[in-house]
Structure 1
């Protein structure tokens, strides 16, 4: 009989570290649910008359926020995960203030990047319906702010930072920052919004890494989206 000590391989299901981090099955479930919700949203969008750009814009905002938000919340329930696993946790108020300032910097970069890209390429502007909603009157403006500058940032940050970035950190912080930001940017398609979305993604991911919370990223995202809505209204009033 061997005198070597008997060892057993640890069961991942009993690994405390594994139980507190986002896993590939978590991502798979989230993406599957998100696809279903996006498809449902698209089917509903197709029912909106093409000439009704205001309703179309608000509906697009709603889908872009509700689909990822619903996917993450349903994953939390199905996978029996805690909110903190996905970075949905409190953060010190100072980080929200810092995020707001960073958001203003992103807005300045947004204006510069968009101006440069639109002047040097023929990249498409996919914000037309959103702008129509924001400039349609008080109700449209309020709807654009609530859906585009609050709901959408929450839903997208829960998905792209709370799930995707957190999962990728196991391969290194900078890989997670760049790759999650690139995935986020490309999810918007290749257009005028792509480079701006990448900057927002990098900023939000770095804040997520520092604070372990999605909320500073939500603030950066919200400031950028709100600025787009406000700028659209100002431009419409001056033109």
Structure 2
């Protein structure tokens, strides 16, 4: 990855105006395809028990539909310029490399508090968060599960989702409207895509808003990718560490 010393903002570039058909294709194929196939798999499997192979399948579907949509329907069709957003060749300002990691860690407690408060205010319980933990550690603590989940959920899924939500979706809105509209529209779509519980939606919205802001200022997709990787990897490490050293805290 090339680390450069300065970068303009996205507002400095003058891209062409994308069509509404592009957005429809992104949402129908990427968003709709992912949830439709996930629902179909759930209906065919007919089990309430999440296993490591099912978690692997979830990661694969995420990459196929989200990254695939951005790369095939976006980049391959000339609708998304990977160079302009600093994705390929990889480009990131030195200060944003460290800032992305630092801000994502700083946001973790805030996002946690917001998620819990919103969940409780909505009349829900924290038991609803169990489903997300089951996907991350379906078989409890195993080294194989930890390595696979760290690579899948911690690294590959963040790259996939940032390509789709910030690369394709945010940039579509940014090329048509101003930054606040692009930030809000893409962030709410990202949050809706994490509708495990209302608390997870609220927490995801905070991350999405921060990622959109960082992309706008750094003009490289690798900055929000690093934020997303840091967030997800931290969660994976903490859950597996708790399972290894204090399993009573995460009893099912």
Residue 147 of structure 1 aligns with which residue? 152
Larger mean Cα displacement after TM superposition, 47-56 or 96-105? 47-56
Q: Name stretches of at least 5 consecutive residues in structure 1 with no aligned partner.
A: 1-15
Q: Name stretches of at least 5 consecutive residues in structure 2 with no aligned partner.
A: 1-12
Pick closer, same or farther for the CA change 1:22–1:95 going to 2, 3 Å. farther
Residue 92 of structure 1 aligns with which residue? 93
CA distance in 2, matches of 1:230, 1:117: 25
Backbone CA RMSD of aligned residues: 2.6
Which structure ranks higher in relative contact order (CA pairs < 8 Å, sequence separation ≥ 6)? 2
CA distance in 2, matches of 1:119, 1:160: 28
TM normalised by structure 2 equals: 0.76
TM normalised by structure 1 equals: 0.80
The answer as to whether partners of 2:26 and 2:70 remain within 8 angstroms in 1 is: yes
CA distance in 1, matches of 2:225, 2:100: 9
The answer to whether 1:196 aligns with 2:197 is: no
Pick closer, same or farther for the CA change 1:227–1:114 going to 2, 3 Å. farther
Residue 122 of structure 1 aligns with which residue? 124
Residue 182 of structure 2 aligns with which residue? 176
Pick closer, same or farther for the CA change 1:165–1:99 going to 2, 3 Å. same
CA distance in 2, matches of 1:78, 1:39: 24
CA distance in 2, matches of 1:86, 1:22: 15
Pick closer, same or farther for the CA change 1:37–1:196 going to 2, 3 Å. closer
CA distance in 1, matches of 2:15, 2:101: 33
CA distance in 1, matches of 2:45, 2:171: 36
The answer to whether 1:27 aligns with 2:26 is: no
Pick closer, same or farther for the CA change 1:45–1:61 going to 2, 3 Å. farther
Larger mean Cα displacement after TM superposition, 175-184 or 151-160? 175-184
* Secondary structure of the structure 1 residue equivalent to 2:194: coil
